[in-house]
Amino acid sequence: MKRVWIPIALVSAVLSFSSCKEKVEQKVLTKEVTFTKEGELSLLKADNDSVVAHLDIEIADDAYQTETGLMYRKSMPSDQAMLFVFKDERPRSFYMKNTEFALDIIFINSKNEIVSIQKNAQPFNEASLPSNAPALYVLEVNAGLSDLWGLQNGDKIDWKKTPK
């Protein structure tokens, strides 16, 4: 009988030691995403075409870029923005998942006119922030800038890609 209990005791001891091992923490090293100037954009008042701001823009025009946007970035200078360029004009909705700083989200139609603005979108908020009309473009700028510039529906954008 002792012969049977000794192997069982040994197996139990080995199993208990293996299950008590400390979990090894894996560190994931990530590099902060940095701005890449891909174009320039001007914001213009509708009534007199006066320029209220010039911005360097990063362009999001593929599935990965439009899904990621400004996520995982700590901040953005006030003279920079991200322009989302879509293939079709339709109602859009954005959210602030994994976005670490507040934004104004400006929805723009195919005529380059502002159709709605979601002001002061809060970091990490996953609530849907929809456009009030179909949009072909969406411009993300630091929160408060749309008020500072006095932007309204009907104001316009003019933009171009930077030659590579």
pLDDT in tens, 91-133: 999 999 999 999 999 999 999 999 999 999 999 999 999 999 9
Q: How many domains does the chain have?
A: 1
The Cα 45–Cα 52 span in angstroms is: 7
- 2 occurs within a structural domain: no
- 53 occurs within a structural domain: yes
- 3 occurs within a structural domain: no
pLDDT range class, residue 19, cuts 50, 70, 90 = very low
- 142 occurs within a structural domain: yes
Which amino acid, residue 71? M
- 13 occurs within a structural domain: no
Domain that holds residue 94: 31-161
Q: What sign does the dihedral 59-63-69-73 (CA atoms) show?
A: negative
Query: What are 51-102's pLDDT values in tens digits?
Result: 999 999 999 999 999 999 999 999 999 999 999 999 999 999 999 999 999 9
CATH number at residue 63: 2.60.120.1140
- 26 occurs within a structural domain: no
- 7 occurs within a structural domain: no
